[in-house]
Amino acid sequence: MRLRCLDTGRTLFPTEMGEPKAVGVLGGMGPAATVEFFRRVVAATPATVDQGHLRVVIDNDPSVPDRARALLYDGPTPVPALVRMVRRLEAAGAGVLAMPCNTAHAFLPQLREAASVPFLDMIDETVRRVSVRTVGLLATSGTIRSGIYGRAFAARGIELLVPNGDGQRTVVRAIEAIKAARSLGEVETAMRTVVDGLRTRGAEAVVAGCTEISLLDGDRMSVPWIDALDVLVEATVREAFRGPASDQEVR
């Protein structure tokens, strides 16, 4: 396997990449999504032997206060818990940080302020992959309320559509069902209905903007599926193999 340098377009081979940075993962939001993120990182890493894989330090802490509740209902802020995770991961040797939770990115500025190593922005990375004029978003109500996707898409001149009231309630129930480890079959059927509604309203593609939604099969949807978790995986592998000169690009 090979990676392509985004700056020059030149293909990079593992022997050219040098010593990779250790990856620190702020996990547990939720645990299944964290496991899936790690699985995809392993699959995406250009390695042929164990020693070619990345060192990954995961802090899987499900006790972090609910991000959506903090944004929607003025619930307890997750920032102190997330900052503690940042510090634990840095102390463990992490050279780049990734957080496979879309909603938690509403607090990314505070976390970057606390971090001394590069911290990837899943929202920005995902938005930069979208080339259509109108895109739908499947996400928690907290993510939608925070405006993190809305502002990023508006800055690129892309119209963002979110599900209507009943559709958004379906999305929230789907996320809760996945967190509770229920069967994905019924969840996928319900989500296809929501995606079809967004397509009818003009969505040319849909962003899976919740890492629980990322566990569904996007190939079965009626419009192109842009998975924020996949985007974060690619960015994580890319940045882990980048040298110190590129650090500021992800801060």
Give the residue numbers annotated as catalytic, written as ranges. Answer: 101, 210
Can you tell me the distance from the alpha carbon of 101 to that of 35, in angstroms, rounded to the nearest whole number?
12
| Residue owning tokens 């003025």 | 74
